Amino acid sequence: MHEARRIRPVLIALLVVAIALITLDFRDSGASPVHTLGADVFGPIERVAGDAASPFIGFFHAANGNDSAEITALQKQNDQLRAQLAQEQVSKADQAQLAQLLGRSASGYRLVAASVIAAGGEYSDTVTIGVGSRNGIAPDETVLNGDGLVGVVTSVTSGTATVQLATDVSSTVGVRMADTGQIGAVSGTGQTMAGTDDLRLTLFSATATLHAGEAIVTFGSVGGRPYVPGVPVGQVISVTSEPGALTQSALVQPYADFTGLGVVGVVVPRPPAKAKAKART
Amino acid sequence: MTVRRAVLSPLILFAAVIGQLVVVNRLPLPGVGLPDVVLLVVAALGVTAGPATGLLAGFAGGLAIDVAPPGGHLAGEYALVYCLIGYACGRIRDLLQGSNAERPATTSLLVMMVGVAAGEAGKAALGLMLSDPDMTGPAIRHVLPAAVLYDLLLCPFVLWLVPVVVGARTAERAPQPQFPQSLRLAPAFRLASAGAAPKLRLAGSTLPPVPPPVRAEPKLRLAGGRSSLSSRTNGAFSSAPGSALSGRPTPRLNLASAGRGNQLGGASALRAPQGAGFQGKSPGKGWLRPPKQAGTTARPGRSPRKGWIVAGRPAPANWQAKAPGKGWVRSPRPPSPGTWRRRSPGKGWIVAGGPVSPANWQPRSPGKGWARSPKPPAAPRRKSPGRGWLRPAAPGALAAPTFRPGSPGKGWLRPVGSGALAAPTWRPSSPGRGWLRPVKPVPPPRRKTPGRGWLRPARPPRQNWYTKGPSTRWLRRGRRRRLLLGGRR
């Protein structure tokens, strides 16, 4: 009992510290320096451990095991992605228009391959990837994989980057319908880990119509940040029309498998030097 | 152990944090939830290592999860929940069973399960309160049951793993045997002991260097032969035959599983006789007799048994456990040399009190009871007194597990409280040393040279759980210095 008495002050002190941390972090809306510190400390460890554990994880995902296999798979994905990207382009005219509008061409980007090294808990839709500012990664860059859009980089350390998945409840991606060109927004339902990967699509136009099976691609943002245009997102699986709603909304099934992320690519601006060079992985 | 725990607890916690982030969170587990390994480890540490460890582990582990890269929630959230859970687990565990008591795994498991479920709920509740966008009502409804289920499934495994790694495994000690009936035997035993002196041998812990006479006809055996005695004592004394005790070699004479030295009544008190008059006396006296008396009254010339008999009154409750009488007194046949050797009777004796709680030990000093026994011993002294009265009614009875009530000897020889024995602090205070120490003081082998046999163990008993405590090494060397110093192992 006296032991309990002795540690009670410690308990109280730790509780106070925890509450203080929460308060500070709440004020900074989750961006307090503690997180930076934690990322600096745990980032490298996670990279090592994540690399070591990737074969294990890969076994579960029937994914690739070692680095060379990873790279070749990634290159393959890259090619596939480019092809898909092209296919998904609405039209050459639109493409040109877009490129003009954004002042960039689609080839003005390159992909930096990265493997997922850690993931958030059951309630959060974030992952950590094994590349950082050292590899040219910066916040607000698009992350995708061979299937489609994955998310966006939210914070970066020298060796790691944290990616907010498109399924996160606070994520909103501007999209358009590949067929009709209607624009809208896709947001997460926050239930990725709860078993449903579905996203919710809301069209901006009141007159647009939606059909199940329609493909959705990203609309793109100014400067390619946070989202580059033309990345496939998913397809409509069901249209939910709510009485009284001004616009139509639908559930979208993403192409990417968010629970089985292995290798992803981060879209970084190509260095101004030469845009034609083959994208390095 | 504390050092090991201090080093390994953070390590296992760190491993849990990294494993959680790097592996567990990425596993495509069926269902909608994920096990929280860190929470499990924190709860297990709290349960096995106490509230303080649980508290610190919870805060550290929670904070690590909070700030490690994927993040996803506010710093301090999990630290708050985990440190409460770690503390509560340890605290409840201690409240349910005193921290010194044996800790059955089932209670630990239950406490841990409740703690883990509460931790999952606490995380969700705190997230809701902080309006974490990820923790919406529907998400929690989906995730929480599955997460709790995964955690509960992993509880037994983690509860097994953590003590193994951290070295805090306490649940395995054999339960302390209780001898409710043995009290009845005390009077009979006393009688027997009164007459027993001449042939009485303390334990055959050692093969006497001068074997022939001694071995030839030991009438009384303090300790059973190694093999036979162990089997007997096991049956009788260990309440749970299947317990951890059975697997280990049983120390014959270490009756005493005494817990800590201070429990035994204080090392100083026990040793006192040495300083004063003890050397000249026959060892027996010193032993049984209460420390003070030994100094003043002991007569060197006497036969050892007297001292014995003289000893204080028997302790009512635990007495039997110590009472050497039956096991040794009775044994019909002379101890075989092999069996003789192992036990150091002296130790056993002195130590024997061990299982007895320290507080009780002194007052009882068994010797007294003996000496005082109301009626004179029926058995003839000189004549192998042991046999007649000491002998078990039926030889089979000794071996039988139910034998317990009558066999005080067992209690003696066998460590009663295994837990107590294991206590690290036990040894220094072990009264045995002071008492037994003098090799020389033992009178020349007049009778059957009882002194020798026990004082000089052929070899120290194997170091195991019980015997470890009172090492016999010093007996061999017979160095006074060590004795006085209260040497370490």
- Contacts B52 to A, Cβ<8 Å: 3, 6-7, 10
Chain B segment 3-42 residues within 8 A of A by beta carbon are 17-23, 25-28, 31-34, 36
pLDDT(B230) > 60: no
Determine the residue of chain B that is closest to A257 in CA distance.
B28
Please give the structure tokens belonging to residue A136.
Answer: 């040219």
pLDDT of residue B1: 53
Residues in chain B: 489
B82 touches chain A (CB under 8 A): no
Spatial distance between the Cα atoms of B110 and A207, rounded to a whole number of angstroms: 60
To test the contact with chain A by mutation, choose from B2, B11, B20, B22 the residue with the greatest count of A C-beta atoms within 10 A, namely B22
The average confidence (pLDDT) of chain B is 59
B100 touches chain A (CB under 8 A): no
Which of A255-264, B243-252, B307-316, B391-400 ranks highest by mean pLDDT?
A255-264
* Contacting residues for A10 by C-beta, under 8 A, at least 6 apart: B52, B55, B56
pLDDT per residue as tens digits for the range B35-78: 899 999 999 999 888 888 889 999 999 999 888 887 778 888 89
- Contacts A3 to B, Cβ<8 Å: 50-52, 99
pLDDT per residue as tens digits for the range B402-453: 344 444 444 444 444 444 444 344 444 444 444 444 455 555 555 554 445 4
pLDDT of residue A199: 84
Inter-chain residue contact A118 with B25, CB threshold 8 Å = yes
Give the confidence band of B81 by pLDDT, cuts at 50, 70, 90: very high
pLDDT per residue as tens digits for the range A53-92: 877 776 766 544 456 667 777 877 877 776 666 566 545 5
CA B107 to chain centroid, in Å, comes to 21
- Contacts A51 to B, Cβ<8 Å: none
- Contacts B77 to A, Cβ<8 Å: 18, 22
Q: Is B174 left (phi over 0), alpha (psi -120 to 50) or beta?
A: beta
Tell me the pairing of strands A199-203 and A149-156. Answer: unpaired
Determine the residue of chain B that is closest to A42 in CA distance.
B68
pLDDT of residue A107: 54
Closest listed residue to residue B273, CA positions, set B262, B259, B283, B264: B283
pLDDT of residue B113: 92
pLDDT(B274) > 50: no
Inter-chain residue contact A38 with B33, CB threshold 8 Å = no
pLDDT of residue B192: 59
SS3 labels along chain B: CHHHHHHHHHHHHHHHHHHHHHCHHHCCCCCCCCCCHHHHHHHHHHHHHCHHHHHHHHHHHHHHHHHCCCCCCCCCHHHHHHHHHHHHHHHHHHHHCCCCCCCCHHHHHHHHHHHHHHHHHHHHHHHHHCCCCCCCHHHHHHHHHHHHHHHHHHHHHHHHHHHHHHCCCCCCCCCCCCCCCHHHHHHHHHHHHHHCHHHCCCCCCCCCCCHHHHHHCCCCCCCCCHHHHHHHHHHHHCCCCCCHHHHCCCCCCCCCCCCCCHHHCCHHHHHHHHHHHHCCCCHHHHHHCCHHHHHHHCCCCCCHHHHHHHCCCCCCCCHHHHCCHHHHHHCCCCCCHHHHHHCCHHHHHHHHCCCCCHHHHHHHCHHHHHHHCCCCCCCCCCCCHHHHHHCCCCHHHHHCHHHCCCCHHHHHHCCCCHHHHHCCCHHHHCHHHHHHCCCCCCCCCCCCCHHHHHHCCCCCCCCCCCCCCCCCHHHHHCCHHHHHHCCCC
Determine the residue of chain B that is closest to A62 in CA distance.
B28
Contact B233, B248 (CB under 8 A): no
Inter-chain residue contact B75 with A194, CB threshold 8 Å = no
Cβ atoms within 10 Å, residue B180: 10
Nearest Cβ partner for B23 among A14, A56, A125: A56
- Contacts B84 to A, Cβ<8 Å: 15
The average confidence (pLDDT) of chain A is 76
pLDDT of residue A191: 58
Judge residue B304's burial from the number of C-beta atoms within 10 Å of its C-beta, 0-12 exposed, 13-18 middle, 19 or more buried.
buried
Give the three-class secondary structure for A136: coil
What is the DSSP code (8-state) at residue A256? S
Nearest Cβ partner for A38 among B68, B127, B132: B68
Kindly report the backbone phi and psi dihedral angles of residue B284, in degrees, each rounded to the nearest multiple of 5, phi listed first. Answer: -55, -45
pLDDT of residue B103: 61
Q: Is A254 left (phi over 0), alpha (psi -120 to 50) or beta?
A: beta
Please give the structure tokens belonging to residue A239.
Answer: 């249209």
Give the confidence band of A235 by pLDDT, cuts at 50, 70, 90: confident
Exposed e or buried b for every residue in B135-153, given b needs 16+ CB within 10 A?
Answer: bbeebbebbbebbbebbbe
Name the residue type at position A249: S
pLDDT of residue A15: 92
Nearest Cβ partner for B143 among A18, A24, A194: A194
- Kindly report the nearest CA distance between residue B214 and chain A, in angstroms: 53
The residue whose two tokens read 């004020």 is A27
User: What percentage of chain A carries pLDDT values higher than 70?
Assistant: 78
Determine the residue of chain B that is closest to A32 in CA distance.
B75
What number is the ipTM of this complex? 0.74
Contact B355, B239 (CB under 8 A): no
User: Looking at B220-229, B264-273, B424-433, which range is the least confident one?
Assistant: B264-273
Contact A203, A175 (CB under 8 A): no
Inter-chain residue contact A157 with B69, CB threshold 8 Å = yes
Give the three-class secondary structure for A233: strand
- Contacts B10 to A, Cβ<8 Å: none
Spatial distance between the Cα atoms of A14 and B78, rounded to a whole number of angstroms: 12
Closest listed residue to residue B289, CA positions, set B93, B472, B435: B435
Cβ atoms within 10 Å, residue B462: 12
Nearest Cβ partner for A193 among B32, B56, B68: B32
pLDDT of residue B325: 41
pLDDT of residue B437: 46
Torsion angle of alpha carbons B155, B160, B164, B165, nearest 10°? -20
pLDDT per residue as tens digits for the range B440-468: 555 555 555 444 545 555 555 555 555 55
pLDDT of residue B366: 44
- Contacts A119 to B, Cβ<8 Å: 21, 25-26, 70
User: Looking at A63-72, A100-109, B117-126, B221-230, which range is the least confident one?
Assistant: B221-230
Give the confidence band of B33 by pLDDT, cuts at 50, 70, 90: confident
Counted across chains A and B, CB pairs separated by less than 8 A come out at 202
Determine the residue of chain B that is closest to A21 in CA distance.
B76
- Contacts B87 to A, Cβ<8 Å: 7, 11
Inter-chain residue contact A30 with B71, CB threshold 8 Å = yes
- Classify the C-alpha dihedral B16-B127-B66-B89 as positive or negative: negative
Give the confidence band of B476 by pLDDT, cuts at 50, 70, 90: low
pLDDT of residue B462: 55
Spatial distance between the Cα atoms of B193 and B377, rounded to a whole number of angstroms: 8
User: What percentage of chain B carries pLDDT values higher than 70?
Assistant: 33
Specify the higher pLDDT residue, B229 or B439: B439
Inter-chain residue contact A194 with B55, CB threshold 8 Å = no
Q: CB under 8 Å, gap of 24 or more: what pairs does B95-103 form?
A: B99/A3, B99/B50, B100/B419, B102/B170, B102/B171, B102/B173, B102/B175, B102/B176, B102/B419, B103/B48, B103/B170, B103/B171
pLDDT(B183) > 70: no
Inter-chain residue contact B76 with A19, CB threshold 8 Å = yes
